[in-house]
Structure 1
Amino acid sequence: MEQPRLVPIKLDNYKPLREIVFETLREAIIQGRLEPGERLMEIQLAEEMGVSRTPVREAIRKLELEGFVVMVPRKGAYVAGISVKDIVDVFEVRAALEALAAGLAAERATTEELEEMERAVLLNYEVSHGKNIDTLVERDISFHDLIYKASRNQRLVQIVTHLKEQVQRFRTTSLALPGRGRHAVEEHKNIVEAISSRNVELAGSLAREHIDTAEQLFLTAMGEVKEKYD
């Protein structure tokens, strides 16, 4: 059964309505239910979610600030497309941040944090053999969050948090590729081993390779290559 683009919003959530609408639309864009280039009609979206136009309008403005929506003069709001350069730019930044975080974690992680990373890898092995991509994505996010936390660098964590939603658009597609989930967990295992051995250089190198691999797989899935832009 095909998943609906949007569902009526339940008003029993503690969050403000405008925030719920924003998160609902952002998730629909990330998951591809609202496709790149699709026009966002306030009335239609409001009807689908069972809300007024005001929170939809506010959500669209916020989505524009985060790069998920583009405003076209005299035409309206559209879901932002993803160019090859957009993809490469995001992955370049993420690779550098992941390498830095893993290197710092190799220096600073506590015994408890190392054990938590090891448990996360074992748990991720279990879910990587299933077909629930949402669960796999959640576990992948949780694993990387453990490394960010162990880096003891709050500025790094803030930057990663700002980038996270852009990364999410790519993460789901990458992990949905056949066999990628299992390979990703194996890469996680190697990173944790390097962190546990306090090998700063190796941990950073493996973390960078992990993101580079995800980038290449995503570009392949998109049917594009880096050489298509200068």
Structure 2
Amino acid sequence: MTKRLSPIKLENYKPLREIVFETLREAIINGTLKPGERLMEVQLAEEMGVSRTPVREAIRKLELEGFVVMVPRKGAYVAGISIKDIADVFEIRAALESLAAGLAAERITEEELEELERLLVQVAECTESNDLEKLIEIDTRFHDILYKASRNERLVQIISNLREQIQRFRSTSLAFPGRMKETLEEHKKIVEALSERNVALAQALAAEHIENAENSMLEALREGNISRERNSITE
């Protein structure tokens, strides 16, 4: 495996094992560590400048979160993902995002609503300039504010974990023809429902937004932009 990970920079407020875990998870999400790739503890530890212990702990945690699979007598591998996996994640996300939006409609602050409005302007700019990378960043911030506004930390953690499991494929969904513009319109409707404190409407719109994102991703899959099945090593 070619060296691609940077040495760990210690942060006083985080345990080393947590920093190693986050580093490896991000490498999987952004594609630095690819589906089906074997994770060698010794090499990863050397690249990050740490011992094998925090790497081993991080791999175990990544397995629990679905990012890594352990193959008997072979070792740890970056998990692949299939159409069924994506559909399962989106099915759960649609229900949880609906719950978060409903709670947010009751609990969101005026400051948070204003921040969402500002993000809508930025989404429109990205859509106009076709800046996909920036749009993904703003879309993530938009949903993070929505989750925070639910005032339910456990719910935020669960949704964030699900989202991260398919984060590496978000660009495929948003790059699908017409999806960027649709995302903007869907976000606008959600913000309007939140502003009106309309719980039922916010729930329905949030669920619809996630379902539309799923449809775009699955359509991209059908066109062959992503492998239909897991890498065989992860089965």
Deviation at 1:214, TM superposition (A): 0.8
Q: Which runs of 5+ in 1 are unaligned?
A: none
Deviation at 1:125, TM superposition (A): 2.4
Aligned equivalents of 1:78, 1:59: Cα separation in 2: 13
Structure 2 SS opposite 1:70: strand
TM-score, structure 2 normalization: 0.80
Deviation at 1:27, TM superposition (A): 1.2
Aligned equivalents of 1:19, 1:111: Cα separation in 2: 34
Tell whether the 8 Å contact from 2:10 to 2:16 is kept in structure 1 after alignment: no
Aligned equivalents of 2:178, 2:163: Cα separation in 1: 23
Deviation at 1:153, TM superposition (A): 3.6
2:71 alignment partner in structure 1? 72
Aligned equivalents of 2:74, 2:223: Cα separation in 1: 29
2:6 alignment partner in structure 1? 8
1:61 alignment partner in structure 2? 60
TM-score, structure 1 normalization: 0.82
Deviation digits for residues 134-190 of structure 1, max 9, x if unmatched? x43332122112222323344433432443422424434423445533432221112
Letter in 1 for 2:147: Y
Letter in 1 for 2:39: L
The alignment of Structure 1 onto Structure 2 pairs a total of residues equal to 223
Tell whether the 8 Å contact from 2:132 to 2:171 is kept in structure 1 after alignment: no
Aligned equivalents of 1:50, 1:109: Cα separation in 2: 43
Aligned equivalents of 2:153, 2:54: Cα separation in 1: 32
1:42 alignment partner in structure 2? 41
Tell whether the 8 Å contact from 2:8 to 2:20 is kept in structure 1 after alignment: no
Tell whether the 8 Å contact from 1:173 to 1:218 is kept in structure 2 after alignment: yes
1:181 alignment partner in structure 2? 180
Deviation at 1:200, TM superposition (A): 2.6
Aligned equivalents of 2:177, 2:49: Cα separation in 1: 37
Comparing both chains, which one has the higher relative contact order based on Cα–Cα distances under 8 Å and sequence gaps of 6 or more? 2
Q: Which runs of 5+ in 2 are unaligned?
A: 230-235
Letter in 2 for 1:73: P
1:152–1:10 CA distance, 2 compared to 1 (3 A) = closer
1:149 alignment partner in structure 2? 148
1:82 alignment partner in structure 2? 81
